[in-house]
Chain A
Amino acid sequence: MTSQCSLIATVALFVAAAIPAAAHHSFASEFDSNKPVTIRGTINKMDWVNPHTWIYVDTKNADGSLTTWRFEMGPPNALLRMGWRKDSVTPGTQVEITGYRAKDGDAVANAKTVKLPDGRELFASGSAPGSGGESSGAAEKKQ
């Protein structure tokens, strides 16, 4: 609780400071801010690799076929420090992921949030605005 309180206090302090972020590389090199996407499906797997973790989600198309989307998230270090653990999501978990599609139009996107079956939302800590990678120290979005 103490650490949560200090985190909140610190967040408040730095909101006032409003310092721009510096990220690993630009969001725009791969992703399109004009193509927001929301995918509902089943976790296939999650790769905890640098410089970005990847989360794979199987989703059913209208014709019954299956597409595996892959979402780029923040580096493992950032996810760990934001409270993610390797068992935060496991294969078979139903999720709703928001993000922005890749420029090349494939089933690839930069994740913003991952919504779990119980309603909790985890920030993806990537380069997308609102993902927590730039703007928040809290891993879990308040409902």
Chain B
Amino acid sequence: MKTIAIVTLAFVTALLVDAQEQKWVAPRTSDDHPDMQGAWARRGTRIQEANGPVSPLGEFSNTGQPYPTIFNTGVATALDRATLAAQKTGVVDPADRVLPWRPDADAARREFIRHMIPPASLKYVEPTARCVLPGPVDGDDRSPFFIVQRPGSFVLAYEYNHVTRVIYTDGRPHVGKKLRFFMGDSIGRWEGDTLVVDTTNFNDKTSLAQTIPYHSEELHTAERFTRVSPNLIEYQLTLEDPKLFTTPIKVAGYFAAAPKDTEPMEFACVEGSQTLPNVFGIEFAPTR
């Protein structure tokens, strides 16, 4: 009887705590939008195809190992854990992760991948190994991201390769179509408590995944940032590239709060990258 009473009490307490945390509302900025500022670790935003080609790059890279890494100590509350448990990551649409490739584009990328290791020429070396900016998906999720908000803009600063995306939310249009950028041109708007970011003007010099080694300049993305618990931002990324795919692809992930003392450090990829000399068998650089 005593055991039943204790279990019942624990259950009721859990319900009360849960109900209390369900009421959680994100703190607000001075212009009354959800405050997402701080240091974050991005998780789960990867495009892994169900039936993609086997990429020689995949060996020992995306190993599927558990990924606790360096930044996640902010995820602590019951609400955070419940939110994470329900969180889908990776490709969520199409649900079967069979990407809607145009047949000719699929054949072309499969042929391209065959020449990546050893690389037939510089263009076959994966972009990140050449210190190219990460584009909409690629990059190093071991490095933190920093969000800074002010009226009219939302800044997403990547420690990785020191990328800074200033996402204007002041109603301005995209820049002219002739301008092309590695990270595209991003315009944001608030839909309630969700920041919706529309990005166009990409160049075609970044990759989307190890099995998608490039995209076209017609790439168009839509991102959704929603702070759903004290230490989590829900993140969705929809990609359209009519030269590669017949329909949009949707990827889900999240940003988990980094420890409070996380500060940005320099990541100057160009400083001492030895990847290309190693790949092409060039003499190691002399002592710096």
Within A119-137, which residues are at the interface with B (CB < 8 Å)? 127-129, 133-137
Q: Is residue B33 within 8 Å, beta carbon to beta carbon, of the partner chain? A: no
* 19 A-B residue pairings within 8 Å (CB atoms): A6-B73, A19-B43, A19-B89, A20-B67, A21-B61, A21-B142, A22-B46, A28-B59, A29-B57, A33-B60, A50-B271, A51-B273, A54-B274, A77-B159, A77-B266, A78-B70, A104-B278, A129-B60, A135-B66
**In whole Å, how far is B127's beta carbon from the nearest beta carbon of chain A?**
9
| In the complex, residue of chain B having the shortest beta-carbon distance to the beta carbon of A6 | B73
Known contacts A33-B59, A104-B278; decide if A19 and B66 are in contact (CB<8 Å): yes
Q: Which residues of A contact B (CB under 8 A)?
A: 3, 6-7, 9-11, 13-15, 17-31, 33, 47, 49-52, 54, 70, 72, 74-78, 80-82, 100, 102-104, 106, 108, 127-129, 133-137
A77 CA to B266 CA in the complex, in Å?
A: 8
A26 CA to B130 CA in the complex, in Å?
A: 12
Known contacts A76-B265, A127-B60; decide if A23 and B272 are in contact (CB<8 Å): no
Contact present for A11 and B288 (CB under 8 Å): no
A14 CA to B68 CA in the complex, in Å?
A: 5
A29 CA to B274 CA in the complex, in Å?
A: 12
Within B256-288, which residues are at the interface with A (CB < 8 Å)? 259, 265-275, 278-279, 281, 284, 288
Q: Is residue B30 within 8 Å, beta carbon to beta carbon, of the partner chain? A: no
Q: Is residue B28 within 8 Å, beta carbon to beta carbon, of the partner chain? A: no
Known contacts A20-B62, A20-B63, A70-B284; decide if A25 and B70 are in contact (CB<8 Å): no
Q: Which 10 A-B pairs have the closest CB atoms?
A: A49-B272, A27-B60, A25-B129, A14-B68, A26-B57, A28-B59, A22-B141, A26-B61, A11-B68, A15-B66
